[in-house]
Structure 1
Amino acid sequence: MKSFSVLVLFLSLSVSAQIKTLPLWPEGKMPNYQKSDEKEEIDVNTISWISKVQQPTLEVYLPPQASANGQAVLVCPGGGYAGLAYDWEGTEIAKYLNSKGIAAGVLKYRLPGSASVKENFKAPLQDAQRGIRMLRANASDWNIDKEKVGVMGFSAGGHLASTLGTHFQNAFYSAIDDIDSEEIRPDFMILIYPVISTDPKITHQGSRDNLLGKNPTAALEKQFSNDLQVTENTPTTFILHTGDDQTVPVENSLRMYKALQENKVQTEMHIYPKGGHGFSLANGVYYLESWSERLTDWLRNLN
């Protein structure tokens, strides 16, 4: 019995050692920050919902070394740029990726409406750029290949992921340490029912307003319509959407696919006839739940 207890303790420690939460920014070095009385809020009901993020973090999930294939994914939960569906579109996704030998970092990113942010639209992208750099900076310790690091996002998190993949020419903050010498361009993008465009005809209005304000300039609106920012250097992409999505119209993904094809960027897209919005892994939702298998096949083919 004693040896069994020791074994259980050892296994528990081994599992817990595979998860670590790291601050994105050194103390006192967070860019685009202003002091406020705002407090971070976590609401745990049917899902874990985080709003008013004050301390952005990277929660790292690592598969056992024996099964690690070198790939890593920065996971950006959705929430309309008003909050983060942190477990539903974050930690649960990381666990799934781990089961396929893929390292994952769940990004708890600042939200543009926070009172602690100076320039609203810059904060999420600054955190995403820092997050992907942290994955690469720790590549040797975490069994990651620096050339196999991608980004994945859901809904508004899909907008953030596609922004990271189309706005990598320049960092949106000044370098503060050695981590910032790492590349910010993702090697691949995974966009799940993503907000892509800020065009009022097809956008998710809440995400657009929260990120850019209700009356953005035409230049800013164009800058963050990410289908308009695609070039031949945009990373290879996997896109998933449903035809009956009433929250983020499928036209967002169709426009992104068209732009990627026109620029000869290798792209795979799956449009399911129904399933709505915000289904995450879609466990138990007829054959929609097989979408993760399509993603796994695609990721394996990248290798």
Structure 2
Amino acid sequence: MLFKKIVLAGAIIMGMTTTTIYAATPDLPGYTDGALVIQVKKTSEQIDAMSGIIYSQVKSTRAIRQLRMSLLIPRTQDLKPAIVYFPGGGFTSADYEKFSEMRMALAEAGFVVAAAEYRVVPDTFPAPVQDGKSAVRFLREHAAEYGIDPNRIGVLGDSAGGYLAQMLGTTNGDKQFEQGQFLNQSSDVQAVVTLYGLSNLLNIGEGFPENVQKVHQSPAVTEALLVNGTAFRDWPGATISSDPKKALNASPMGHIKGKKPPFLIMHGSKDTLVSPLQSAQLFKALKAEGNRVDYVLVEGANHGDITWFQKPIIERVVNWFKQTLGEPTKSAASSTKASANANL
């Protein structure tokens, strides 16, 4: 025995790792008087990170736009469910390296976690939805490479990213949004988490003061730019309500009929940017169609504030995905093949 089984200082809890301090015998390799000797219980796996992966190339008449994603991959031989995170940004930016706290927590729970950028204004609908579906197809195409179970892919988004996650969940099987590479793969998703997302572009300011609601009737607000495009030369632009049918087709609420994957909807009661009624109406509509949907209203939380980075929020999302998509499973080849990402 290299250690005397005498605990000197009990257990030290550091995150998810337990360390125990022992009295050491002189024959412990590397030991010298004054050394602190600890034992560490291994409770988590190594996470490999990849960034700048080109998941789609969008061709135009003059250029090719390359869309990127990052990946967090638990270094295990298990067949893992995957999550695609879509960042918020008001339809004007899509910084896919955001929300690292949530993404790492999901990876530590055993999920492969992708974070994908997507086209924003001045590009118009349905460009973001096409990109989101391309990201899902990319993961299925490369499922064996990354150790992903292609039958268990969920999406997560906040704000405009929540809108995009909702759109993917409400348009499973809808071919009108399929464009790009790997069209032999399905873009269907099996679970959706949306945080303070937009469900109906026609009434984002519903319940807000009248002056705020009037702002949303400007042709210069981002939802109008997303649906109708920017003003240019003789084109003055158009308000979001100028063509309600077009705006509803660009909204999750316009695709609510029928069977949908499970949804977790979360919103802050003090959101001053996207009305909490956006989430409430989505919840009621999905429930009315007989779908599995959970709605969590976070009292006192504003739009994207520090509340959303707290442990109870993150744990709720992680646990919901675990319950919905399941845990990693041992693959048939686990005993004979190396980890899918062991050489990254």
Task: Flag whether TM exceeds 0.5 (same fold).
Answer: yes
Q: Pick one of 293, 299, 302 that aligns with 2:321.
A: 299
Q: Pick one of 136, 154, 179 that aligns with 1:150.
A: 154
Q: Pick one of 284, 291, 295 that aligns with 1:258.
A: 284
Q: Say if 1:165 and 1:234, in contact at 8 Å, map to a contact too.
A: yes
Q: Pick one of 172, 185, 189 that aligns with 1:186.
A: 189
Alpha-carbon spacing, 1:255–1:19, altered in 2? closer, same or farther (3 Å): same
Alpha-carbon spacing, 1:254–1:180, altered in 2? closer, same or farther (3 Å): same
Normalising by structure 2, we get a TM-score of 0.68
What code does the residue aligned with 1:300 have? K
Query: Could you say what secondary structure the match of 1:147 adopts?
Result: strand
Query: Could you say what secondary structure the match of 2:84 adopts?
Result: strand
Distance 1:20 1:94 in 2: 13
Deviation digits for residues 36-91 of structure 1 (CA, Å, limit 9, x no counterpart): 7xxxxxxxxxxxxxxxx95311212211215x5621111100011011243333x4
Deviation digits for residues 64-119 of structure 1 (CA, Å, limit 9, x no counterpart): 215x5621111100011011243333x44322211111111111111131xxx4xx
What does residue 56 of structure 2 align with?
25
What does residue 57 of structure 1 align with?
68
Shift of 1:34: 4.3
Q: Say if 1:241 and 1:272, in contact at 8 Å, map to a contact too.
A: yes
Shift of 1:215: 2.8
Distance 2:56 2:180 in 1: 11
Query: Could you say what secondary structure the match of 2:135 adopts?
Result: helix
Alpha-carbon spacing, 1:207–1:157, altered in 2? closer, same or farther (3 Å): farther
Greater RCO (CA < 8 Å, at least 6 residues apart): 2
Alignment of 1:1-303 (within 5 A): 17-26=48-57, 30-31=58-59, 33-35=60-62, 54-65=65-76, 70-89=80-99, 91-113=100-122, 117=123, 120-168=124-172, 169-174=174-179, 176=181, 179-200=182-203, 202=205, 205=216, 206-213=221-228, 214-216=238-240, 217-279=243-305, 282-283=308-309, 289-302=311-324, 303=326
Distance 1:198 1:82 in 2: 15
Query: Could you say what secondary structure the match of 1:195 adopts?
Result: coil
Mark the runs of 5 or more structure 2 residues left unpaired by the alignment: 1-44, 207-212, 229-237, 327-344
Distance 2:307 2:149 in 1: 26
What code does the residue aligned with 1:290 have? P
Aligned residues: 258
Deviation digits for residues 193-219 of structure 1 (CA, Å, limit 9, x no counterpart): 101111236369444123113435222
Bigger Rg, structure 1 or 2: 2
Normalising by structure 1, we get a TM-score of 0.77
Deviates more, 1:234-243 or 1:211-220: 211-220
The percent identity for this pair of structures is 21
Q: Say if 1:198 and 1:222, in contact at 8 Å, map to a contact too.
A: yes
Shift of 1:128: 0.6
Distance 1:129 1:265 in 2: 21
Deviates more, 1:246-255 or 1:221-230: 221-230
Higher strand share: 2
Shift of 1:230: 1.3
Query: Could you say what secondary structure the match of 2:247 adopts?
Result: helix
Shift of 1:143: 1.6
What code does the residue aligned with 1:296 have? V
Distance 2:204 2:71 in 1: 37
Distance 1:63 1:171 in 2: 34
What does residue 8 of structure 1 align with?
none
Shift of 1:16: 8.2
Higher helix share: 1
